[in-house]
Structure 1
Amino acid sequence: MAELLFPARDVARVRFAVSPMWQLTTGHRLSASGTADRVHRSWLAQVRPRTAAAGLDRGWLAELLPPDSGYVPDFLNPAPAGPAPTLAEELAAIAATPAERIRADLDHLRHHRGGAGPRARALHADPAARLPHLLREAERYWELALAPYWPRIRALLEADVFHRARQAARHGTDRLLNTLHPQVSWDGTGLHLARRARTLARHAAGGGLLLVPTAFKGPGLSTRIAPPDPPQLAYRARGTGRLWEPRTAPATDALAAVLGRARTRLLVELDTPAATAELARRTGFSAAHVSENLTALREAGFVTSHRAGRTVLHARTEVAETVLRAAR
């Protein structure tokens, strides 16, 4: 059991963040593991073929995020500056990581794995030259595996934060910390982490505490201790088991009167991202008709499009999700 001293000033600095990079690192490791995960089965079935076709199952991320190692290089999960950083902001923070920090993390990864692959060695030798390759691959993985699903994932994470913030407001920070995760407990002076042997000296951990909900973590707790940043605790978000469940079809007559029946039908069908040909097959519309209406929906901010190899996947935006919820 590890203990992190937790004086009053740190209690006052407890905060949450929805981090795209935490979703990327945990999602990539799950995808690379080959595990037939019950919760994420449908997501994995769609994502694994795309990322493999793009070579992302054997690139920089595959070396730095091996599923057989418990350690993730700390520089890949920078401390979010605010409650909801964008992927671009987090990639910029990674790009600004000092070379000595990257080398120290890679040394730690090599210790955990008993060796280092060729890309990890190249990054260790020349971080400035090699880091841009890693960042471009991270962007590519995001585009293929996470961007089409981000409104749904982000809604899950924000719901978790809302629930826990309300819990703290009603019952206090002690209830928040003692119900966060089975491995976490707080006794009023210290935060205790079960099944963690490494001590957490307050002076070596930075001030405050950053709580990061994730969609792709297993049941365990992940920590990031990289002073002067606050310690990060990443945990599985509430409701993750229902993340990919089909949503109740909305009553769409009123919405169709505004958007038209074809566009409303396409929004309903985009409960999971799909290509133009797939949408044409499902709806019976011609591919040209689907394409024309998707263009209109995209220009209005209801749909985003993401290239996956030679296929373009279309996905609902948060605006569309809000409109459909209102129509239910």
Structure 2
Amino acid sequence: MIHLHFTAADLGRVRFASSPLWECVASLRALQTARDGWHLHRAWCERARARLGERLPADAVELLTALVRPAGYIPDFLVPSPPRRTVPFEDALAQVAASDPEVVARELAHLARHRAAQRGEGRERRRALLQSLVDRPDAGIGPVTDALAAYYRAAVAPEWARIEAVLHDDVAHRLQALADGGVQRMMRDLHPSVGFADGTIRVVKDYEGHADLGGRGLVLVPCAFAWPDVIVLTARPNVPTVSYAPRGVGRLWTSRPTPAAAALAEVLGRTRAALLAQLDLPMSTTQAAAQLALSAPSVNAHLQALRAAGLLTARRDGRRVLYSRTELGDRLLAGR
């Protein structure tokens, strides 16, 4: 059990952030655990493996899967605390590149000794690979960031618009809960392994740990690929961070064309029918355009038409407007 102890100042510094880097790192764990049987991210894994086989050298995959194991410790330098609500992948990767080599070497050495992380075949080869990084003057930061960048482009970036929609939808729900009932209500259903009472967050883990937030606050990071785990980051210089699977993550890879959608295309047109099918998750014009590989102005015109017909609803999220299907849109798409 991990205990995160709040002060009054920390409660005023609780914030949310999303990070494509966190998704990138956590997805490496999913990639290794979704090989057999049912897995929430299996559909993504099948697509990602095909792209990785074409675009990423085998030694880069070996390096990344040595750094992020199916279970156990993930080096902190790979998942720095997001400094603001939304951090582009390139900016987050720059945080990794700026890591102190001494700290990185220490974390890699710890990973090489970690019992849970080093289970399975190839343990000695992984340890030798990690030691080769430790022995470099930069502790391997250069090769690691290069491999992460190539992996992100191949495996995560093509899916980012849909992932981001799930993350923003979760944050909107949490902020509404905060407005309705304060921090207590916001934390209530964060994750089955997370509880909040008496100024302390308790996270179920197979080890015991205590951390005083000490006025640093707390960053809550919804992360689709964190499922089914909770990732906790407390070591300085990071802001204490808890990453959890967002609401709606089960819908992430389930959108499929249906006979009703195909018939609907004859009435609405292909683009509007495809757009209606895509918006089971709230998306901005830019996100929807990326999903359909169309220009934003063209997609915006279709969105306005669908909204005027009562098939979509819109809500403002900061500077963006997010669109999602109404109940009428759901029924029309399902052919009911």
TMscore range, shorter length: 0.7 to 0.9
Question: Secondary structure at the residue paired with 1:172?
Answer: helix
Partner of 1:309: none
Correspondence 1:40 to 2:50: no
Equivalent in the alignment of 2:75: 73
- The answer as to 2:224 corresponding to 1:215 is yes
Aligned match for 2:95, one of 87, 93, 96: 93
Q: What CA distance in whole angstroms lies between the structure 2 residues aligned with 1:92 and 1:82?
A: 14
Mapping for residues 117-196 of structure 1, pairs under 5 Å: 117-128=127-138, 130-196=140-206
Aligned residue runs from structure 1 range 254-273, under 5 A: 264=271
Corresponding position of 1:51: 52
- Partner residue, 1:274: none
Q: Deviations over 1:236-282 (max 9, x none)?
A: 111111111226749668986xxxx7xx38966996xxxxxxxxxxx
> Relative to structure 2, which stretch is displaced further, 315-324 or 78-87?
315-324
SS at match of 1:117: helix
Unaligned runs of 5+ in 1: 272-299, 306-313
1:64 to 35, 52, 67: 67
Helix, strand or coil for the counterpart of 2:225? coil
Number of aligned residue pairs: give it.
284
Q: Quickly say closer, same or farther: Cα 1:301–1:81, change in 2 above 3 A.
A: closer
Alignment match of 1:106 (pick from 105, 108, 115): 108
Q: Which residue of 2 aligns with 1:281?
A: none
State the partner residue of 2:316: none
Judged with a 3 Å threshold, the aligned counterparts in structure 2 of structure 1 residues 134 and 324 are, in CA distance, closer, same or farther, namely farther
Which deviations, in whole Å up to 9, do the C-alpha atoms of 1:218-242 show, x marking residues without a partner? Answer: 3221111221322111111111111
Asked if residue 198 in structure 1 is aligned to residue 208 in structure 2, the reply is yes
Distance 1:302 1:5, change over 3 A: closer
Distance 1:109 1:156 in 2: 31
- What is the distance in 2 between the residues matched to 1:303 and 1:117? 44
Secondary structure of the residue aligned to 1:119 is helix
Query: Secondary structure at 1:227's aligned position in 2?
Result: coil
Residues in 2 aligned to 1:219 and 1:129: alpha-carbon distance in whole angstroms: 31
Q: Which residue does the alignment assign to 1:4?
A: 4
* Higher deviation after alignment, 178-187 or 94-103: 178-187
Q: Give the SS at the match of 2:10.
A: helix
Q: How far apart, in 2, do the equivalents of 1:118 and 1:206 lie?
A: 40
Q: 1:231 to 1:318 in 2, by over 3 A?
A: farther
Shift of 1:99: 0.8
Please point out which of 221, 229, 232 is paired with 2:238.
229
CA distance in 2, matches of 1:228, 1:49: 37
Unmatched runs of 5 consecutive residues or more in structure 2: 279-285, 312-336
Percentage of pairs with the same residue: 31
- SS class of match (1:216): helix
Structure 2-normalised TM-score?
0.74
Q: What is the match of residue 25 of structure 2?
A: 25
1:281-300 → structure 2 map (5 Å cutoff): none
Give distance in 2, aligned partners of 1:221 and 1:129.
27
Coordinate RMSD, CA, aligned: 3.3
Structure 1, 227-236 or 7-16: larger mean CA deviation: 227-236
Deviation at 1:61, TM superposition (A): 0.7
